[in-house]
Structure 1
Amino acid sequence: MVLFGTLMNGLGILVGGVLGLFLNRVPERVKETTMNGIGLAVLLIGLQMAIQSNEIIVLLLSLLIGAFIGEGLRLEEKFESLGGWVEKRFQKNSSSSVSQGFMTASLIFVIGAMAVVGALDSGIRGDHDVLVTKAIIDGFVALVLSTTLGFGVLFSIIPVLLYEGGITLLATQIQKWVPDTFLDGFIVEMTATGGLLIIAIGLNLLNITKIRVANLLPSLIMVGFVLYVSTHITG
């Protein structure tokens, strides 16, 4: 089932959000230790994906070019600005707690490398590990958010399903546009590049680094271009 990962992500948010409505407050120590455990699991998934690479040069060039593009477009800053604008917009109206919960949770769950990488992985390889892991993370975050922002957090399931499901379904159609021989190599290198981004997310979750992962997202697209050029030069 190609949308299994997306549906699991939605279910994780639903379960976490509902539990949060019935819990008064999650202790800070519990949140910290739980997030550390999740960060370690995310690192492991990223490592498993990254070591699959057969073309380290392709991976490296994709990251470098993608980083230049991402920094040039300032993707991370734009995402943060969008989140800040939404937060200020709804803070002005104290009666809009449902809208605030919906918008805040939606931005947290939708914007990020894990949603993109996970959806691509589900669509192209049929591997849902990243999205299932994201479901666990989002479930815990939804639990914490719903204790303060209420049931509006639960409505964030809708944009998550539409966003990740859309990317997943589009990714399944890539075989119609790309030859099988090229696609096999692309899947391997895209997975490895995505794995490195997942590792960066894990390191950020553990507060070891503050990598601007959103600025590296163009690397996933550049894998196809770099691999295409590399194949034609060597071929």
Structure 2
Amino acid sequence: MDFWSRTSGTWINATTVAVGTAFGLLLHGRLPERMQRIAVQGVGLTTVFIALSMAGSLGKATVGRFDGVVLGLVTLVLGGLLGEWWRVEEGLETLGNWIKRRVGGGGSFTEGFVAASLLFCVGPMTLIGSLNNGLTGDATLLVIKATLDGISSVALASAYGVGVGFSILVILLYQGGVSLAAGALAQMLPDPANDPRILLVTGVGGVMMIGIAINLLGLGRVRVASFLPALVLGPFVSALARWLS
């Protein structure tokens, strides 16, 4: 397959976010604050629904005598500790601020960049969809994800501004990178949809998305970015549990 066939879903996703951000920017500053807030809350509530569906994968991520929920807890705690040690949250905010200075973004630029980057890249459709796209050229899952991201970017950009659009950089790097690396990953994950390692990562990602929803709904301040290392640790925790069983 050529480069386009392996990464088509990523480019479609980037395009929908760009278009959604453009529409959102047309509304930015024109909608009353209460309408901007309700739009973001709509995204937050939808995120809760998706997150709970994802988090349910932990029930299927059992390995030997180790319950999937326990493995998810261990993965999240270890990942969170590593994230705080490595100051991942601050790093993502620093990147957002650096881009903001270069493009002259507004006051909510960094908040929009961080919120959109996390929302658009934490989830099973990102990983499994990218694997399918890279291996077979099938971009169906990523097209569905692109539609959801495009709609969400309208609401987010209307509230946070142009910073939402710069999450495209993260989409291209992460999602496109997984698609291009899919050939090597396929040897380790012959059945990604039912692999316990992917189920664990999906469940952990769902719990993280609950944190994103809490932030979007204004219910608290969860340092979601600090948990990002958990997505990498998931397969190792699952392999360790299998070895100990």
Q: State the TM-score, normalized to the length of structure 2.
A: 0.73
- Structure 1 match to 2:148: 133
CA displacement, residues 127-181 of structure 1 (integer Å, 9 cap, x when unaligned): 44655433322222334566xx6xx987x48635522441440463311234659
The residue type equivalent to 1:61 in the other structure is V
- Contact kept, 8 Å, 2:87 with 2:226, in 1: the verdict is yes
1:38 alignment counterpart: 43
Asked if the contact 1:193–1:220 (Cα under 8 Å) also holds between the matched residues in 2, the reply is yes
> Which of 18, 37, 50 lines up with 1:13 in the alignment?
18
Name the residue aligned to 2:126.
Answer: 119
User: Are the counterparts in 2 of residues 21 and 143 from structure 1 also a CA contact under 8 Å?
Assistant: yes
- Does the Cα contact within 8 Å between 1:119 and 1:131 map onto a contact in 2? no
RMSD: 3.5
Preserved contact between residue 54 and residue 202 of structure 2 (Cα < 8 Å): yes
How many pairs align? 219
Supply the AA of the counterpart residue of 1:166.
Answer: G
User: Offset of 1:203 from its aligned partner?
Assistant: 1.1
- The aligned residue for residue 188 of structure 1 is 199
Distance 1:164 1:119, change over 3 A: farther
Say if 2:233 is the partner of 1:222: yes
From the superposition, tell whether residues 5 and 201 of structure 1 become closer, same or farther in structure 2 (CA, over 3 Å). farther
Pick from 164, 167, 187: which aligns with 1:176? 187
Gaps of 5+ in 1: 91-98
Change (3 A) 1:228 1:131: farther
Q: Judging changes above 3 Å, is the alpha-carbon distance between structure 1 residues 10 and 137 closer, same or farther for their aligned structure 2 residues?
A: same
- The 5 Å alignment of 1:61-76 reads 61-76=74-89
Secondary structure in structure 1 of the residue aligned to 2:220: coil
**Quick one: which amino acid aligns to residue 130 of structure 2?**
G
CA contact (8 A) 2:83 2:226 kept: yes
* 2:210 maps to 1:204: no
Shift of 1:42: 0.2
